Amino acid sequence: MSKQRVMETVSPLKDVDGLHPFNRGHLISGGMCIQPATPLSCLEIMKRSGISLTGKHMVIVGRGETVGKPLVFMALAENATVSVCHTKTVDLQGLTRQADILVCAVGSPGLITADMVKPGAVVVDAGISEIDGQITGDVDFDQVKEVAGAITPVPGGVGSLTTVLMLKNLVKGVHLQEQARQWESDLNNA
């Protein structure tokens, strides 16, 4: 079964994950849409912590459809300079050490170690894996917290806020559906 075809069958106004091509297109172009909750969570955590993205170099490790790719456009909208790393990136450590803000969303436990982080950098761990029944992130938290200026834990960081933001997307979807119904009614009555 085609993943793309399945996503296209869901109304973009009911797409709380922000994965419908309509929402993706508006995300890229800066239009009104439902944004994916996990990258939104990454940004919201920084905003609530008083961390501005303007002029900062954000390095995203992970180019997945759920976090990495949408986060690129969301961070650009916040005036960050964005670099994306992935499994084929040469010199990952060299690039991550340049980051003012390092976001990791790969699903590779302990991938990011202290020697890969610029001192004082903001580190957001959006990765999640299970090892021996324990949830863990992509960042070696105990090592990296000694180098980072700020860091999110796993569990208890991005994932916790993601759940709340999905509910916020649900409410936004309901409002967008109401607006669409009103717009259609106005057209029919014109």
Q: What percent of the chain has pLDDT over 70?
A: 100
Each domain of the chain, given as residue ranges in start order, spans: 8-183
Residue 13 has pLDDT above 90, yes or no: no
Q: If you average pLDDT over residues 93-116, what whole number do you get?
A: 97
pLDDT reading at 177 higher than 90: no
Tell me 190's DSSP state: -
Q: Which residues contact 187 (CB under 8 A, 6 or more apart)?
A: none
> How much is the pLDDT for 1?
82
Q: pTM (2 decimals)?
A: 0.90
CATH superfamily of 8-183: NAD(P)-binding Rossmann-like Domain (3.40.50.720)
SS3 113: coil
Predicted confidence (pLDDT) per residue in 37-54, tens digit? 999 999 999 999 999 999
